[in-house]
Structures are given as C-alpha cells and as structure tokens.
Amino acid sequence: MRIPRLVEMLMAGSMAVMPAFANQIQNGSFETGTTTDWTVGSPSEMTISSAAASDGIYSLRLQTADGTIASTTQLIPVQANTDYVFTYDINYSSGSTGEVTAKLTFDGLTLKTVTTNSTDGWTRRQTWFNSRNATQIQLDLYATNNFNGLVYADNFSLATMAPPYAYETWRVDTYKLWAALNAVGDHPEEDKDNDGLNNLYEYAFAGNPTNALNQGTAPTFMQAGNQFVYRSLQRNNDTNLTYRVEVCTNLLSGVWTDAGLVTVTNGTVGDFNDIGYVIPTNGSSLYVRIKSTRPAESLNDGWFELLPSGGTNDHLIIQNTLNKLHKGATLKLVGNFIIRDTLYLPSNFRWILEGSLSLANNARNNLDRVGWVAPGIDARRYTGISEKPGGAGNIDMSGGIYNGNNYSGSNSNTIRFINFVSATNCYFHDMVITNVSDDNFTLGPGCNNNICRNLLSTYSIRGNALTDKGDHNKWFDCIAEYCIGDDGDGWTPKCRHSEFYRCIARRNGGPGFGMYCRVDGASDRGEAIDGNRFYACESYQNWGGCGFSFNIADNSGAGASIRSNYIQAVCYSNQQSGVRFRNALTGTAVAANEVDLFCWGNRGLDGDGNPSTLTGGLGTDNGELYTITGITGSMVSFDNINSDVNIAQASNCTITVYRPTGETAPVLKPGPGSNITTLTNVSAAGPSHPWCVHAYYNATNIP
C-alpha cells in the first residue's frame, strides 16, 4: 500500500454573506432596464447597460472623458437608531482613471466609499453604520478626480443588519493576536522567515514565523497495529480556522475529496490538540493531504466625514459618532475642532484628522481623570483623548495637530492630552501634539504591541512629550522637543522590551530620554526598565539633563531595575552626560546594558548646573555603594567636559573607545580592575568598524 504524505496550506477567501433583510434601495440592481426611482444628474453619462452585470442582466454605466460625472441620487427611508449595511458592486473597465464615490448623507454626517482604478473585475464594497436620528438617507453616486473611462455599478443595497456585524459583538481574531505578537502583520499568505512555509501554515501547526529553524510540527504518517494513522496538530483556540483531510487516488487527475475519516484525539498541548485520522487499508493507492483554511475577513469600506459644529465644544458630535461606529469604519475629521470633555476611542476603527483638535479654554475641570489605578498607585490625570474604559485595540490614528491650548494659561495644570491606559495592536502615526500642560502623548502600563511612527511632540509645559510605560511597543522616527519645564523630559521610556528606531530628543528642560525607575503614581514602587532597544537615535541640546538618563533614584522603590537595554545613539551638547547610568538604592541593580555611542560636547554639569566629575560622554553614578555592572560596547567620544568615558563607579564593564584622526584624545576613567577599556585610533569608517565609527564619519554638524 502506497500512501505518500502531502501537506499544503491553502488560503481561502470568501465574500461576506449579509443577512437577508429587505433592501431599502429601490431598483438597486437596475433589472427594470431603466433608472426608475433614481434622479440622474447626467443622463448622457449615467445610463443603463446590459454589457456587464454582477448579477442579472443590467447595471448602471458611468462613462465620460471630461473628469466628473454629476450625482445620481436616491432618497431612502430608514428607521432612526438602527444598524444598516450598505453594499454595492463596481467594475472598472481597463484604462479607467479617477474616482467613483458612493456617499450617504444623514443626521449631519457624510459617509463615503471611494473606488479608484482597478483591474480586478467586479468588486463588492460594503460598510456598516448606525442611522442615529435620521429617518431618511440621501445616496449620491458620482465620479471625480479627472475621471476618464468606463465603469459599471450594480446591486445597490441598504438593509438592516443583525450581529455579528454590530461593533460590540465582534470576536477577538486569534490569528491577528498571534501575528501581532510575532510582528508579522495581518498577512497570512506571506512567508516572513523565508522558510518556504507561509505565516498561516506556521500559525496552524505551531511554527515560529520569524525563525526559519522552527517550522512547527508537520503532519506525520504512521502505522498503528493493523491501521495507518495520519496525525496532525490542530488549534483549539480559533473556531475560524478549519482543518480538513483530503485524499486522492491519482495525482494526475488532481481530484481531492473530503476523506471523512474517523478521528481520534491523542491529547492536548497548550493551544493545540493532537488529532489522528484513521486511514482505510483497502489495498488501493491513496494520497493524503491536510488542508487548513481561514476565511477572509469582511472589510468595512466606508468612512465618515465630520465637520466642526462652529461652536465652542465639538465633543458631542465626535463622541456620538464614535459610539455608533462599526468595526473597520473610518472617522475623518475635517477642519478645526474644539473639545471641552474627554473623548473615548473604541476598538477596530481608523481615525484621521485633517486640521486640528484643540482643548477649549478652561477645559481642565470638564476633563475626566484617566489612568492606571491599582493598590498603592493612582496615576490618573486630566485627559483629552483616551480609549474606552476596559481597553481598546486595532486603532489606526493619524493626521492633524492636537493643541493643548496652554498659551493663555487656561489649561495650565496636569493635563495629559492623548493618554492611553490599555491600548493594544494600535497604529499611531503622522501627528503633531503640542502646547500641553503635562504629558503630550502617553502609552500607559497596559499598552503593548503598538506602533508609533512620525509623531512630533513639542512644547510640553511641565511634563513630558512622549511616554511609553508599556511593553513591546515600537517607535519609528518620532521627535520629542521643547519640554520647557525644569524637569521636563523629552521621552520617558519607562517600558520593557520596546524598540525605538531613529527617534530624536532635543532642547528639553530635563533629559532627552529620561528613564526614571519609579512607577508613575506610586511613592515607593520601582519600575523595571528592561530589554529596550534604541537604534540610531539622537539626543542633543537638552539644557537640563543627559541625552539618555537611566536612573534608579533613592526614592524609586523596590523592584527597580535597568537590565539588558541596548542604546545605539548620537548624543551631543547636553547639560550632563551623553548617557548616564545611576543607581542610588540598595537591593536593585543596573546590569548587562550595551552601548554603541557617538558623544561629543556634553557639558558635564549636575542637575543644578555645577561641574560634576561623574558626567561626560558615558557616565556612571552609584554613590560608591550600589550595583552598576556589565556595561559593554563601543564609543566615539571626545570634547566632553570632565571625562569622555567614566565607568569608575561600575564593575565588569568592557568598553572599546575609538579616537578618529584629528580629534582630541578622550579622557577615560576606567575604575576598578574588573573593567576593561581599550583605546583604538581610526582614520576612516570601514566595514569592520562598529556603528559609532560610521556615525562619526557620516556626521555633518561636528564643531
């Protein structure tokens, strides 16, 4: 008997099947052969055609060469405060350009779906929404943006809907959580680690999508007594994932059928069951494969366009819209908005600001106090924007200017503008946050697996510009500047296992990156700042502190630690050190941190502006009593006041210091005999030299 094993993973896509409720749109499929029930804006450009249809015989034909087509309209009666699903099919012919927009207008809102040139044939567009106070909705279909070509539209439908389409009832997608934890994105068909197995395969069979050596547990074929058994792992925590064993008697025919085999559960290991399939022994040739599929998720294509009310508080119109959003929707705020009350964001939607959102004068007393509360901890602050209580995920937030309105002093006390407590798997990008009395943008202790990109946070009056108190977050190309209070840190990365790429701190009243190891809101509880990675970051001209300050202060509290961080950075013209490690508390440790630094011109002063022998390029301070150990790495360091490398108050450190030709000799304070410092002259950056040497030779602003 010959039974080769074939394992293949097939991606299955399916168009969403909507509930069969009555269509409120009249003549939505145009099977009357006319435009009855529609008001046609351009009769010569919007016509009925039998040349193409997604269903039936007829569709609506759009064709012009002059760039626009006026609206074809229908007024649709609806029930107030009711959930609806709007769908239609659209087909761009080859060569078409421009955009076709279907717009729903109701209760002061505009909801749009926009389709651009595509060669995919018929495509279904769909969006879910709540009618709010409306009893009538206007539907407009039109073409803009230099439209030139031929498009067909068909099967317009507006129907009431039931769960699972309502926002509140969507289940957590286990695959997306797994993909976020492994940083592979929601791309099941891709092969992240290039091992020949796509991400869905690794998810289905316990593989690691970022490690080519860990391909999971492949199905196996074995003999058990007088039977043959085909064994495979199957996830027990994802009802959306299906496994099916198929058989084929002739590979040339390519006809695979559902085997309908008897199954046996051999046990459970974590999230997986070990399943055996009993193979019949009938003497014929049989080929076996297992097929795992995950249905494609329905997409919400619509986006709301919201305009400011023109009054002194737009909170209500924004929050009411947020409360009625369904999964996958987009809220686009167009204009300059003012809020006096706290906004709460739901999960699973996209927020786009085209304009600004500002706190009203004297808004502080109207804002809710939001933050992390636990025994002995109260880190609540007056907050402008947060997530809904209990946490939120999958928020895509971008665009615009967020203004704390502190120029007049009317909002001068302890306001955090954007303050998330427990946000996960979110994307915050391309935003400016400014003029806030306390902290501009905060990821709290419950925030993890978020991505922040291109955030400019500037002018925090008394607090910090960018804060990460969570874990496993990633920051790209973000800037924290002009925190103008005496202790205003640019960044406060009091986090664990977060990553920072090309991030900048400049011209702040405190440290550029201030890692102060005390839990926010607690008086005696230490913060663990462990496992963070800083790549190609910069910190300069911070007039009140270090470029990077890792600080276990005497009031940090039990549990404080600074371990296994990696700092790759350029630091110059800071008041104190380029990078400093400090430990002033018994029972704690600063250990196993690694640096690759380019430091020059740091002024070597203490917090009061007096000369300090402990500071310079790289400085250590343990009060000659507490543990700092295991700093390793490399540096280019010169012209720092007092010292360029001072590890005198640390032990078991190994630092290689590079001196470029023409620069002054670095001042080294190696300290105890367990420390090793090596001075090496270099004349040019080469492939064998470390990052800090390349940073020096690529720098353009060295005095």
Integer Rg of the chain from CA: 31
Q: How confident is the model at residue 278 (pLDDT cuts 50, 70, 90)?
A: confident
The mean per-residue pLDDT over the stretch 69-80 comes to: 96
Give the SS3 label for residue 607: coil
Q: How confident is the model at residue 266 (pLDDT cuts 50, 70, 90)?
A: confident
Q: Is the pLDDT of residue 171 over 70?
A: no
**Span of 257-266, 305-314, 417-426 with lowest mean pLDDT:** 257-266
Show Cβ contacts of residue 443 under 8 Å, excluding neighbours closer than 6 positions. 420, 423, 450, 452, 467, 468, 469, 470, 473, 495
Q: How confident is the model at residue 524 (pLDDT cuts 50, 70, 90)?
A: confident
pLDDT at 383: 97
Q: Is the pLDDT of residue 296 over 60?
A: no
pLDDT at 376: 84
pLDDT at 585: 93
Cα–Cα separations (whole angstroms), residue 615 to 323, 381, 669, 703? 52, 34, 11, 21
**Span of 156-160, 304-308, 556-560, 611-615 with lowest mean pLDDT:** 611-615
**Span of 11-15, 216-220, 651-655 with lowest mean pLDDT:** 11-15
Q: How confident is the model at residue 600 (pLDDT cuts 50, 70, 90)?
A: very high
pLDDT at 320: 93
With CA atoms as reference, report the closest residue to 644 among 626, 661, 627, 664: 664
Q: How confident is the model at residue 333 (pLDDT cuts 50, 70, 90)?
A: very high
**Span of 132-146, 199-213, 416-430, 662-676 with lowest mean pLDDT:** 199-213
Q: How far apart are CA 309 and CA 427, in angstroms?
A: 28
User: Which amino acid, residue 378?
Assistant: D
Q: Is the pLDDT of residue 41 over 50?
A: yes
Global pTM reads 0.78
The mean per-residue pLDDT over the stretch 55-64 comes to: 93
With CA atoms as reference, report the closest residue to 598 among 648, 532, 663, 669: 663
pLDDT, tens digit, for every residue of 251-264?
776 677 776 777 88
Q: How far apart are CA 698 and CA 703, in angstroms?
A: 14
Q: Is the pLDDT of residue 119 over 70?
A: no
Q: How confident is the model at residue 160 (pLDDT cuts 50, 70, 90)?
A: confident
pLDDT at 21: 55
Half-sphere exposure for 216 (CA within 13 Å, toward CB): 26
Q: What is the mean pLDDT of the chain?
A: 88
pLDDT at 231: 87
Q: How far apart are CA 257 and CA 565, in angstroms?
A: 54
Q: How confident is the model at residue 298 (pLDDT cuts 50, 70, 90)?
A: low
Q: Give the tokens for residue 610.
A: 């007096």
